[in-house]
Amino acid sequence: MMKKLVLMSMLVAWAVNVHSAELSKYTANKVQRAQSLQQQEKLNEAIEVLGGVNTSKAYDKAFVARMLGVFYWENNQKSLAIKNLDYAVSSGELKDTQAWVTERMLADLLLMDQQYKKALPHYYQLVKSIPKNEKGNELWLRIAQIHYQLSEFSSTLKAIQRYESYRQPDSLTPLSLKFGSQVQLKQWKSVIPTLERLIVLEPEKLIWWRQLVTAHLQLHQTKQALSVLVLADRKGFPLPEQDIMLLAQLYAKQGIPEQAAITLKRLSKANTDVDLLVEQAVYWQQAKEWQQSIFYWGKAAKVSPRYYWQEAQLLLQQKEYQLALASLAKVRDPKKKQAVLLAQAKAYYKLNRIEESLIKAKKANDITSTNETKGWINYLSNLRKVSEDS
């Protein structure tokens, strides 16, 4: 924008020559004197000369205000630059290209000064008639930026649509504005193609990949979210731990528990955090990798003894009866006392230790008599009698 306003200063010099016939002789002399001082980089003197112009002609006042606006800006006096350019524009005395360029200068300065609501009407006025040598796409981008700053996201998208009608190559600023507005408006279906364009522009930026995963999840597109995150992972991005956790969860939701367990193992606390140990145990169990599941249930149990019950259940399933008994002996949950006794009875039975099995079954029955406990007692008692008779 700085370059543009310097160019505007040059245009002022051009305008002095072109419109000198419209200025009074008195004002034209002052203007030419100020222009000469400006070219000698004597801005304060140039401003003093123009500030001393005393004329009743409306056009002369507007023209001088326009020049003062440029000089004040070059002198880092932004508020005075805006004040003079605003006067020049609102006077209505400047015509055609001269008027358009002046209003563009004012709009740009207001934008630079973050006076968004004041800048916006000027930009909308400018796009009504754009000179051939000016870029309409730049104006619509400015309009979009202002609407975004004002949290007017629907208007931002409309302005971006006008910007895109100029068929410019994709660039970061307009696409970022489009993406941010679509997110604010929860237009998730539209967010996805915008993010895909951003990824083409900046494939090395992990943020765009992560946002694309989020957009797919908002649409409950778990498979697509997994594909994007897997691709990002394979490209070697250093995924944050929360993304590694999400990757594991997505694998699980897609029915790939083994890969979910392998992914969880990458987390820094995978071997110490009890919740992560349990998740790994569950995923290996879902994958029917029984020994791996037993291993992780065992690690979880060492951190929190309540998980000895799950370890024992799998050991029984895998006919590791002696190991199951060792785990069952460590279960301390009073609510599981009867279930533990029955499990011990079954383990002893499988080890052909009938007497110990019967003792456990009777203790289980003493807690609550059920058909199952009574059935085990009758069965084991008959086995013992047959054994004694033989």
84-98, 149-163, 337-351: segment of lowest average pLDDT: 84-98
CATH topology of domain 1-134: 1.25.40
Average pLDDT of 14-18?
46
Find the largest Cα–Cα distance for the chain.
139
Give the pLDDT band of residue 5 (cuts 50, 70, 90). Answer: very low
Q: Domain residue spans in the chain?
A: 1-134
Distance CA 51, CA 62 (A): 12
Please give the DSSP secondary-structure letter assigned to residue 306.
G
Q: Residue 18: pLDDT above 80?
A: no
The tokens for 289 are 């990798």
Higher pLDDT among residues 231 and 23, named by residue: 231
The tokens for 114 are 């973050």
The tokens for 48 are 């003093």
- Tell me: the pLDDT tens digits for 240-288? 999 999 999 999 999 999 999 999 999 999 999 999 999 999 999 999 9
Mean pLDDT score of the chain: 93
Amino acid letter at 302? K
Amino acid letter at 329? A
Residue 63 CB contacts under 8 Å (≥ 6 apart), including other chains: 15, 19, 22, 23, 27, 31, 88, 93, 94
- Tell me: the pLDDT tens digits for 136-153? 999 999 999 999 999 999
- Tell me: the pLDDT tens digits for 348-369? 999 999 999 999 999 999 999 9
Looking at residue 386, what is its pLDDT?
Answer: 80
Q: Residue 174: pLDDT above 90?
A: yes
Distance CA 332, CA 11 (A): 88
Average pLDDT of 226-230?
98
Distance CA 7, CA 11 (A): 6
Give the pLDDT band of residue 98 (cuts 50, 70, 90). Answer: confident
Share above pLDDT 70 across residues of the chain, in percent, rounded to a whole number: 94
Amino acid letter at 200? V
Looking at residue 389, what is its pLDDT?
Answer: 64
91, 60 Cβ separation under 8 angstroms: no
| CA-angle at 67, arms to 61 and 70, nearest 5° | 140
Place of tokens 């994709």: 170
The pTM of the full predicted model, rounded to 2 decimals, is 0.84
Q: What is the dihedral of CA 264, 265, 270, 274, to 10 degrees?
A: 60
